[in-house]
Chain A
Amino acid sequence: KAGVTQTPRYLIKTRGQQVTLSCSPISGHRSVSWYQQTPGQGLQFLFEYFSETQRNKGNFPGRFSGRQFSNSRSEMNVSTLELGDSALYLCASSDYLNTEAFFGQGTRLTVV
């Protein structure tokens, strides 16, 4: 079956703009989590959605937000972009048993 799909793969934005990233989970998975990966901080948990509700949230400012749709697809939004938001954003999906998180290829965001 198809894996986790993230779009777009690459994105260049200007400081102050906002951006929306999309994630389509594996069919049947209802949990979607988002992570930020940077060389300095490594992989950091942003938030998790399950059945359209945010279940967990990491320690990121309110500029970072997300949502999940009834088909389990998820989007994350970053408003008022800063240079430090440049990172690889990873999405992961899990089934209801939460036994394993399957990761997508990520969206590489560059803020200039």
Chain B
Amino acid sequence: AQSVSQHNHHVILSEAASLELGCNYSYGGTVNLFWYVQYPGQHLQLLLKYFSGDPLVKGIKGFEAEFIKSKFSFNLRKPSVQWSDTAEYFCAVNSLNQAGTALIFGKGTTLSVSS
């Protein structure tokens, strides 16, 4: 069965620090990859997605992620975090061998940024 693993449950950073959140998935076939963010009191929003092509994808608010197929990884990065980045971050995969948009999510990483 597909699964997604996020290595960090809770990350605490100071403003301007660099961020990297790990995500690994287990699935042998072709997948689409996503990072979603949930700000306090708000709905899940898409940060970025990878379907094919350049493995380095850029998303909103200065976030980027790199797909490394050989490592089954899709890590999220941001060079300099802001207090407003405090949120919960979810990595998700969707199998191309399966019709539809069923997303398998990781357990999430809570990011706390202090000013």
Q: Is B101 in contact with A48, judged by CB distance below 8 angstroms? A: yes
Asked, given contacts A100-B49, A104-B43, A105-B43, whether A43 binds B102 with beta carbons under 8 Å apart, the answer is no
Contacts of B106 in A (CB 8 A): 42
Instruction: Name B96's closest neighbour in chain A (CB-CB).
Output: A98
Q: In the complex, which residues 21-46 of chain A have their Cβ closer than 8 Å to any Cβ of chain B?
A: 31, 33, 35, 42-45
Q: Given A103-B44, A104-B43, A98 and B101 touching (CB < 8 A)? A: yes
B108 touches A45 (CB 8 A): no
Say yes or no: A31 contacts B44, CB within 8 Å: no
* Set A35, A98, A103: member contacting B100, Cβ < 8 A: A98
Q: Is the interface of A mostly helix, strand, loop or mixed?
A: strand
A87 at interface by CB-CB < 8 Å: no
CB-based contact A55/B99 at 8 Å? yes
Interface centre among B44, B51, B107 (most CB of A within 10 A): B44
Mask: chain B, 2-34; 1 = CB below 8 Å from A; 0 = not: 000000000000000000000000000000000
Q: Which residues of A contact B102 (CB under 8 A)?
A: 33, 45, 48, 56, 58
Alpha-carbon gap, A58 to B94, bound state (A): 13
Q: What chain B residues lie within 8 Å of A3 (beta carbons)?
A: 43
- CB B2 to nearest CB in A, in angstroms, measures 10
Is B56 on the interface with A (CB-CB < 8 A)?
A: no
Alpha-carbon distance between A90 and B99 when the two chains are bound, in angstroms: 20
B79-115 vs A, Cβ < 8 Å mask (1 yes, 0 no): 0000000000010101000111111111110000000
- Residue B46 at the chain A interface, CB threshold 8 Å: yes
Asked if A101 lies at the interface with its beta carbon under 8 angstroms from chain B, I say: yes
Residue contact B107 to A42, C-beta cutoff 8 Å: yes
In the assembled complex, the CB of B98 is this many whole angstroms from the nearest CB of chain A, namely 7
Taking CB as reference atom, which chain B residue is nearest A45?
Answer: B102
Q: What residues make up the interface of A, taking CB atoms closer than 8 Å to B?
A: 3-4, 31, 33, 35, 42-45, 48, 50, 55-56, 58, 90, 92, 94, 98-106
The 9 A-B residue pairs with the shortest CB-CB distance, nearest first, are A43-B105, A103-B44, A42-B107, A56-B102, A55-B100, A94-B101, A98-B101, A56-B100, A103-B43
A-B contact pairs, 9 of them (CB 8 A): A4-B43, A31-B100, A35-B103, A35-B105, A48-B102, A94-B101, A102-B46, A104-B43, A106-B43
